[in-house]
Structure 1
Amino acid sequence: MSLVMFPRDFDDRRSMKHLILILTLIPTLLFSCPALGQDKYAVVVGVEVYDTSVFENLPWSDEDATHLGDALGGLGFQTTVMTSGSDSFRLRPTSASKIEKQIRSVAASCAAGDTLLISLSGHGVQFSDEPLLPSGVRETYFCPSEADLADKASLLKISDVFQLMSDAPATQKLLLVDACQESVLSETGRRKSAKRIELGSVHENRHSVPGGMSVLFSCKSGQFSWQHDPLQHSVFSFHVIRYLRGQADSRFYDNEQIDLSGLQFYVSKRTNDYVIGKGLSPDGQLPVMRGSSTNWTIGRRGLTGPRSILGMTFHPVATGVWFAETEVTRQQWRQRTGADPWGENGLNGDRFPATRVSWEMAKKFCEDLTRQARADGSITRSEKLDLPTLSQWTSVAQNTAQDNLPDIGWTSENSGKTLRQAATKTADSFSLHDLFGNVWEWCDSPDSDKPACGGSYRYPASIAVSDEASYYESDQAFSDIGFRVALINESP
């Protein structure tokens, strides 16, 4: 087992590989990637809500789990996501037995050549009155939402998770652990239990990891894992998700592969730099990998899963291109501009598409979004939020199943020739709402006349699915033209 430390000034992945060879004397052969496994499985757990008479709540753990699940789904994982806010009671991580049951069930589905990934985001504890394990550390526990510190059976032993994963026949196995939070016990909980609890304890501290699996801990011994409200995630999970979505700098991907080595390098460097740079802790937060040093491929960059940016959900439609799930709504427009260009229009409601927005106004809206998203780290410098090009829009339309158009679009045949709220029809095969009908959508073009596609509630279905766009001057605005934002990677 090797502990890899990352220098603060690391700026080259190849140099880091050389450093690892020097520090750990691992043969170069260990860094060769085996072929992709046949199937990929994941259980992602986020515990946000606790009994506040004992624990502090964690405001972003559900977001961590949900977005990590989305990222893994985009890489082909069959993903089970457990969160405090799940609509399914079965998928709420209220007890250790429920979490263990899900892990056991998924692990049993694995076969040789498969990939198994487990992620735990929540509180972790140790008990100072417990004896040391043979590895020299005390047992560590992950806390479900109904954890009872007086009943250890209500807690999930990390060693039990190790064993479940070790027993699984999958070939590639990775455990992500983000359970060493700085604030664990509530004020009441500290009065009751602080003397026998070691807080923020599930870090890399000499855990004995079974052979054949790797564990990425969110920090090293003596550090804490930090959540940061501007990220709407823990710092560790934010960077894990960014790497898996292919949003890290290109040097962290060998031949466009998303792999274990790149994940370790990127998350360790960026998490530590962020925590120090934002003044969260002068000690930093250095995620550490334990266990097997063999590298393996998790997936490939390119067409990945949904992205959540500034409160908007984007779905992949082509390599390096995502479309917003809905047209920009009145609420989204008003929140960012403070304006109501549509006026009364006889209709009230935040969920209606923003209309009477000219092409020029839509472009400026996208430019402002891009600046904000780059500033908060939601997108990279090579990505932008913009109107889709005409070719991008028509390509998506042509590849969308149109045989159920009445179910997915508001046209003159079913709308009563009245504007309808966004997302009141079934999503199409790209998980997009209202691509056809309801309002025309502006597309980007260098020409003086600007195209709008997809028809509207005032036009028949034959217009909605037509390959022909309508063209208008860039400063014109109409009651049945809106727009949809696209996320575009300019160097995918």
Structure 2
Amino acid sequence: KIKKELSLLIPGLEREDSLIVALAGHGVQFKADKEPYFCPLDARISDKSTLISLLWLYDQLKYDNPSGVGCKPRQKLLLYDACRNNPTPESKRSITTSRGLASNSLPQIAPLPEGLVALFSCAEGQEAHQHEPLKHGVFFYHVLEGLKGKADGDRDRKITLDEVIAYTKSQTQIYARLNLAISQTPRQKGYFDGIWELNSLPDTIPFTNSIGMQLVPIQAGSFTMGSNDGGDNEKPPHLVTIGQAFFMQSTEVTQSQWQAVMGTKPWKGEVYVKEGSDYPATYVSWEDAVAFCQKLSQGEGKTYRLPTEAEWEYACRAGTTSAYSFGDDASQLSDYAWWGGILGDGNAKSEQYAHVVGTKKPNPWGLYDLHGNAYEWCSDWYDKEYYANSTARDPNGPDSGSFRVLRGGSWYYYAISARSSYRNVRTPDLRLNFIGFRVVAE
């Protein structure tokens, strides 16, 4: 059946097509025959016609193959995971000890056809292993995980052949050594000249950058910004459209993340501060936060910035219209936020500092601490009357002002300040123990 499928597929391929052939199963090589074979599920070792010769397969993948049809694609990949356990169910012996058979872990055969890269599951003399928790062979499990996104080493959301090979080789070796106490080293034969993009990750998948920030996709959409139940600066409620999807950090920027980018500790020695890698970076001004985003962007090769006030409230509400993202009942706030440490009678009363990020429940979109913990800088200038004149699509705030917007409430303040629509302000040069920020990525 495999041969038939290939014979039907190959003639219809063009030069700019890409071809991936993946084989997972048993591999054999007869002692009197240097030709290696792959065993399909219904193969019979006694009947070579039921086996697939790798030499035959190589011939089929040549541009000028013996059939005269030719395999035209410039990009061809062979993934070969040949388990060397005996394919006959009544025997538990290694196939290499079966009568008349030799090892076929890494076939030593003619050079690969032009444009073909082959990745074998293990080196010569090794065995390719399975592990029940993976539901796959160790090799193919890591191939698939790499293609899904884990191989994206440069975090450009494009998965290339070189990245998949590098990820599969390293992770297969590590997994086999740590979990099975054996050596399994995938081997590559042949090279592709150029960059072959195997997969492009959609913008609906969270990603983690090089300093450990997890960024959650926020899709474009519309919502009602503001509230009639809050202060005058929250009125009038008005429809706002966020026209472009973006990524928002799932937590506030932590002290370790700040240090990784800026190399400083602005909170050091200050009051009402707990130090540690996963505590929020506080005593950070709006100007400091913007400088952080600029430096992070340079290091990551991607644009990072502060969220606009509209983006912040849109992400905080996460499709809700209630006072908080979890509803209108402020008695539930302690499940989602650290609040009321100085003003109010909240759960930070006896622990008067910004707490480790992500320890409370997230909002419906997987974002933590948007209510409480640390106030968060937004990019906008502040104008009390701005909502009456705001643009309906992607508002960026006034053109100028004296104050910058803060959102989300903090460990310091009353529950009312943690409402989704609540607006606070400070001068852009101010640093305080209850002010931090989170970033968005374009």
TM superposition score normalised by structure 1: 0.44
Larger Rg: 2
Richer in helix (by share) = 1
